[in-house]
């Protein structure tokens, strides 16, 4: 297939060649079950899992025993939110999150709300930033959790996580962060955080594997398991481990430690070139703060065009999205852009560009040229 230029790395990333090479033996020669404790097939698999656990832990400044492997960030977030809700079953419960969280958080919050929890959805300003004073004012005596993402998947805006962690600690509240878009892209440290969701396929690892960081040696309690049947992963998440996927996750983590800082500098220059080229068009607007954002992400709105037509035409040559991957087929404007106060017509006519390891200067120049021509043609034909 003649694929278009790929500028949708926030949706998923290609597996690095080194990751694929590391995984392959665990589909064949080393096929053992990591829970098989009585023979070498199981021992080899178990050791590979523990080596990967250590590698992922190093990426976020954690201890290996604090990482629970899951099928991905959605499961990790469900385990964290619903597991804490179940832990305090029968008590009055209050949770704080934000209007711009990923649907895995928002839908999980809606579910515990249906079961009786109170949930506060914090607003953000026009730049996608939180008011930390409002966050602290929202804490109540029965607040059990603050859940806020590290970096937004649509705009790249980075929240002040350490300041949020300090607020949570001050009030003795569990702090969960969805760090999926941040881990492997910017320095992330688990210090002061109680629960953190990660995903391998956002950092050049395989799909179908993620992790939940669960802080140890702290007085705040841990979530209750949501999957039962064997007590795997210290009882937090039963089920046969995806050994090849976990091995790939570990290898991807090692690579990101080596490459992340230098890559961010390169991608920021390319991202800025992309933006400057497209902002030359009249009626193009950048969405989100430019003070604190991921180096590889740009979210732009294009006035005077219809959103669905824009996305379809641009994607003939440039693979981009109009929001998060799980909601990119929806004709509705992004809930993130809506929360920022962006009008519906502009919200629908917005594109998220997210660059990655395989993005070259030629890719960016071609993208600028193509998107400009698409927008001009659509405007002239309307």
Residue with tokens 């210090």: 191
- Residues with Cβ within 8 Å of 90's Cβ and at least 6 positions away in sequence, in order, are none
Domain ranges of the chain: 5-12+260-381, 17-254
Of residues 15, 98, 147, 326, which has the active-site annotation? Answer: 326
User: Rounded to whole angstroms, what are the CA distances from 175 to 126, 141, 161?
Assistant: 25, 15, 10
Q: Which pLDDT does position 326 carry in this prediction?
A: 53
Distance CA 248, CA 242 (A): 10
| pLDDT tens, position by position, 191-246 | 999 999 999 999 999 999 999 999 998 999 999 999 999 889 998 999 999 999 99
Tokens of 374: 């698409």
What number does CATH give the domain 5-12+260-381?
3.90.1150.10
326 tagged catalytic: yes
Give which of 325, 299, 293, 314 is closest to 367, Cα–Cα.
Answer: 314
Q: Where are the alpha helices (DSSP H) in 139-196?
A: 161-170
**Count of Cβ atoms closer than 10 Å to residue 168 Cβ:** 26
d(CA 372, CA 380): 12
Say which residue the tokens 């087929």 belong to: 329
Do the domains spanning 5-12+260-381 and 17-254 agree at the CATH topology level? no
Average pLDDT over residues 256-284: 97
Chain segment 328-374, per-residue pLDDT in tens = 455 678 999 999 999 999 999 999 999 999 999 999 999 999 999 99
Give every CB contact of residue 40 below 8 A, 6+ residues apart in sequence: 32
Of the candidates 242, 204, 194, the one whose C-alpha atom is nearest the C-alpha of residue 69 is: 242
Supply 310's token pair.
């824009």
Q: What is the fold of 17-254?
A: 3.40.640
Bridge partners (DSSP) of residue 120 are: 96
Contacts of 259 (CB under 8 A, 6+ apart): 357
Q: Name the strand (E) or helix (H) holding 294.
A: none
Q: What does the pLDDT look like over 119-142, one tens digit per residue?
A: 999 999 999 999 999 999 999 999
* Distance between CA atoms of residues 54 and 87, nearest Å: 28
What tokens were used for 97?
């999150």
How confident is the model over 58-81, as pLDDT tens digits? 999 999 999 999 999 999 999 999
In this prediction, residues 33-58 reach a mean pLDDT of: 95
Tokens found for residue 378:
């659509």
């Amino acid at each position: 297939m003649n694929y278009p230029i790929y500028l949708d790395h926030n949706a998923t990333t290609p597996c690095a060649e080194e990751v694929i090479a590391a995984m392959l033996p665990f589909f064949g020669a080393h096929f053992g079950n990591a829970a098989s404790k009585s023979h070498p097939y199981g021992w080899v698999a178990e050791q590979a899992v523990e080596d990967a656990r250590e590698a992922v832990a190093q990426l976020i400044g954690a201890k290996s025993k604090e990482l629970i492997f899951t099928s991905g960030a959605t499961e990790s977030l469900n385990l964290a939110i619903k597991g804490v809700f179940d832990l305090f079953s029968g008590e009055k419960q209050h949770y704080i999150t934000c209007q711009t969280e990923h649907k895995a958080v928002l839908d999980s919050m809606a579910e515990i709300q249906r079961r009786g929890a109170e949930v506060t959805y914090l607003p953000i300003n026009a730049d996608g930033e939180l008011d930390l004073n409002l966050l602290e004012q929202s804490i109540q005596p029965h607040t059990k959790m603050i859940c806020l993402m590290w970096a937004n998947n649509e705009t790249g805006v980075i929240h002040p996580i350490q300041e949020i962690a300090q607020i949570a600690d001050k009030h003795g509240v569990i702090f969960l962060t969805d760090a999926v878009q941040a881990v492997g892209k910017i320095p992330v440290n688990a210090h002061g955080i109680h629960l953190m969701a990660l995903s391998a396929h956002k950092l050049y690892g395989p799909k179908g594997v993620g992790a939940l960081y669960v802080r140890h040696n702290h007085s705040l309690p841990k979530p209750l398991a949501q999957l039962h049947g064997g007590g795997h992963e210290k009882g937090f998440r039963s089920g046969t481990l995806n050994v090849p996927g976990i091995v790939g996750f570990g290898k991807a983590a090692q690579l990101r430690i080596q490459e992340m800082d230098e890559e961010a500098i390169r991608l920021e220059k390319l991202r800025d070139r992309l933006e400057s080229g497209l902002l030359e068009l009249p009626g193009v607007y950048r969405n989100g703060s430019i003070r604190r954002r991921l180096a590889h992400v740009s979210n732009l709105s294009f006035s005077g065009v219809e959103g669905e037509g824009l996305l379809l035409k641009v994607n003939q040559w440039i693979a981009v999205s109009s929001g998060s991957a799980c909601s990119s087929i929806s004709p509705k404007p992004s809930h993130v852009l809506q929360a920022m106060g962006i009008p519906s017509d502009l919200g629908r006519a917005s594109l998220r560009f997210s660059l990655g390891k395989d993005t070259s200067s030629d890719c960016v120049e071609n993208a600028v040229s193509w998107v400009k021509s698409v927008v001009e043609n659509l405007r002239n034909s309307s």
